[in-house]
Structure 1
Amino acid sequence: MAGADGGHLLARGGAGVSPRPRVLVTGASGNVGAPLVEHLLKGGAQVRVASRGEGARVPEGATAVRFDFEDPSTHAPALEGVEKVFLLRPPALSDVKRHLLPVVRAVKEAGVRHVVFLSLLGVEKNQAVPHAKVERFILEAGVPHTFLRPSFFMQNLSTTHRDDIREHGELFMPVGSGKTGFIDTRDIAAVGARTLLEDGHEGKAYDLTGAEALSYAEVARLFTEVLGRPIRYNEPGALRFAARWYRRDVPLAYIAVMTGIYTVCRLGLAGTVTRDTETLLGRAPISMRQFIQDHKACWM
């Protein structure tokens, strides 16, 4: 895919590139963290992968260190000598004051000179979400920072909603006709690597979206065209949506979060499209059609 591997990540002029920065990456096995680690290694960074347990498998060239958000005793040893941190809030940890504030304090005490936090698009208008509280912790600590504020992940369709698409041939979300500026997590990773490998991104907040806002009916049509079989957009109400996930033994708190997120979309608040991704990467963001093509096997 042209441009999607971020191979020219450092070719763009402008900000200087830090020589072999020591970077701690949290969430390194996820949809953002895994490609981020690859980009950092290609860019010459010395990468530490945060891991809750011993014996974690890491890419060649990276080092695993024990780091547990719920165990503050692991924070200082993992951060020793680290210059930069990629911070991702584990979705299961909703008590951010208990589990994220100690991490931010440890980052400050370790003398880390730049933290890149994976936040949320529109967070500055919604102070109730956990991401807003973490941003505030970072600002109050005075740690040089960059906030990445992405829109909805395309990869939600290949993970959370994969089975509905593969087994039922449908997109099943209570979003009505609302549009979403979906972004591929590979683009988020490429942006994250740039902000960690270059100087000059401190104090910035980047709103990251794809190049277009799509309704779920439009996404269903793209799936139909690429997969070669009918994929329909089933427009359930919030209660019907919640009931299906409840029958799957999904915790009510998680169902409430999903329902709330899709309500934002239904209200037309997720359709923002910005140029930040394109500007930072020097290319167009990965399109929804390309994303579906690249992950085609997971829905077949």
Structure 2
Amino acid sequence: MTVLVTGSTGTIGRRVAESLDAAGAEVRRAVRPGHRYLPEGAVAFDLTDPGTWPAAFAGVDTLFLVRPPDMGDVRRGLLPAVAAARDAGVRSVVFLSVQGVERLRVVPHATVERWLRGSGLGWTFVRPSFFTQNLVTVHTPDIRDRDSIVLPAGSGRTAFVDARDVAAVAAAALLDPVAHRGRAWTVTGPEALTYAEVADVLGDVLGRPITYRDPGVVGWLRHARRTLGLPARMALLTAGIYTTARLGLAAGVTDDVRSVTGRAPATVRETAVREQAAWRREPDPSRGGTP
């Protein structure tokens, strides 16, 4: 069985490919043409470039499908490639969706799920909650340099999930697509925390106070663009995600990680301990070497 992994250099896809490798599966990593690093077993692939599809899909049984974060129109930018995969002989798709998609019918993930249900392909949906690793990527400058978490989630709770747990569930579905056919796994951590509670956890791990500040949606967009340098589309997307948390729609906790993998998902504290190097400051010579 050959598995094609899209998004193979990203937060989840990279870990999915590693899990499949460890299980002895035949993995084909899809990498965008022109990527600076083409790992062994990779193939140049672009969802929007039909010229890259035949080589990527040849001999593939199962597809791990990730929507690129900057792709809004999935009907034009993603679904034609999945239809071509089906026509080329791909039989099953494991799609990285999002928690609560069944209530958020306007998000692109909902469009992909609806299409897959009627496509004739076997399908499994992996619907993760907010990745704890987003604190390592998007929010590292605030945490590391300003001892703060800045975002518009109010006091709403979020069922943070470790990216490794998401990848483990996806890999299990890819390795045994028949057993997971027609399943929608909502992958969360074991607890739902407010961002103020997350700040307290990070403070404990780092040994210095971390605070949470909610600037509101408009203030977040300004902060995201001017301070963090996020593209406008990503700033708007994250504003929507945090508003979902503010409204209490991101707090649902499931036991799906344990059901699929047989082990408990990581807590925010466990992930923070493992990832803490990202938030450590280098010693400041002007202050006698004190970080």
Fold shared per TM-score above 0.5: yes
- What is the SS of the residue equivalent to 1:225? helix
AA partner of residue 135 (structure 1): E
Identity %: 47
TM-score by length of 1: 0.89
AA partner of residue 72 (structure 1): P
Contact 1:154 1:185 in 2 (8 A): yes
Contact 2:48 2:81 in 1 (8 A): no
- Structure 1 residue 38 displacement after superposition: 1.1
1:155-191: CA deviation from partner (whole Å, max 9, x where unpaired): 1100011110000000101111100000011101111
Moved more, 92-101 or 81-90: 92-101
Q: Tell me the equivalent position of 1:81.
A: 59
AA partner of residue 123 (structure 2): H
2:214 aligned with 1:207: no
> In structure 2, how many angstroms separate the alpha carbons of the residues matched to 1:145 and 1:182?
25
| Unaligned runs of at least 5 residues, structure 2 | 281-291
- Structure 1 residue 86 displacement after superposition: 0.4
TM-score by length of 2: 0.92
Contact 1:104 1:137 in 2 (8 A): no
AA partner of residue 238 (structure 1): V
Q: Tell me the equivalent position of 1:90.
A: 68
2:157 aligned with 1:179: yes
Q: How does 1:122-161 map to 2 (within 5 A)?
A: 122-161=100-139
2:264 aligned with 1:278: no
Contact 2:190 2:253 in 1 (8 A): yes
Contact 1:171 1:234 in 2 (8 A): yes
Contact 1:28 1:34 in 2 (8 A): yes
Q: Tell me the equivalent position of 2:286.
A: none
- What is the SS of the residue equivalent to 1:207? strand
- Structure 1 residue 208 displacement after superposition: 0.6
Q: Tell me the equivalent position of 2:144.
A: 166
- What is the SS of the residue equivalent to 1:214? coil
Equivalent of 1:230 in 209, 221, 224: 209
- What is the SS of the residue equivalent to 1:145? strand
- What is the SS of the residue equivalent to 1:279? helix
2:50 aligned with 1:72: yes
> In structure 2, how many angstroms separate the alpha carbons of the residues matched to 1:33 and 1:254?
19
Contact 1:49 1:64 in 2 (8 A): yes
- Structure 1 residue 224 displacement after superposition: 0.6
Contact 2:101 2:107 in 1 (8 A): yes
Contact 1:104 1:141 in 2 (8 A): no
2:244 aligned with 1:264: yes
2:91 aligned with 1:113: yes
AA partner of residue 270 (structure 1): A
Q: Tell me the equivalent position of 1:10.
A: none
1:236-275: CA deviation from partner (whole Å, max 9, x where unpaired): 2112111112214433332221111111101111100011
- Structure 1 residue 72 displacement after superposition: 1.5
> In structure 1, how many angstroms separate the alpha carbons of the residues matched to 2:8 and 2:87?
23
1:62-103: CA deviation from partner (whole Å, max 9, x where unpaired): 511111012022112210100111000000111111111111
- Structure 1 residue 58 displacement after superposition: 5.5
Q: Tell me the equivalent position of 1:217.
A: 196
Q: Tell me the equivalent position of 1:294.
A: 274
1:129-165: CA deviation from partner (whole Å, max 9, x where unpaired): 0001111221221110100001001011000111100
> In structure 2, how many angstroms separate the alpha carbons of the residues matched to 1:55 and 1:246?
26
- What is the SS of the residue equivalent to 2:137? coil
- What is the SS of the residue equivalent to 2:29? strand
AA partner of residue 75 (structure 1): W
- What is the SS of the residue equivalent to 1:210? coil
Contact 2:86 2:121 in 1 (8 A): yes
- What is the SS of the residue equivalent to 1:97? helix
> In structure 2, how many angstroms separate the alpha carbons of the residues matched to 1:191 and 1:264?
24
Aligned length: 278
Contact 1:178 1:268 in 2 (8 A): yes
Contact 1:174 1:237 in 2 (8 A): yes
Contact 2:257 2:265 in 1 (8 A): yes
Q: Please give the root-mean-square deviation of Cα atoms over the aligned residues, in Å.
A: 1.4
> In structure 2, how many angstroms separate the alpha carbons of the residues matched to 1:105 and 1:114?
12
AA partner of residue 58 (structure 2): E
Moved more, 235-244 or 215-224: 235-244
AA partner of residue 252 (structure 1): A
1:201-238: CA deviation from partner (whole Å, max 9, x where unpaired): 11111111000100111101100100001111112211
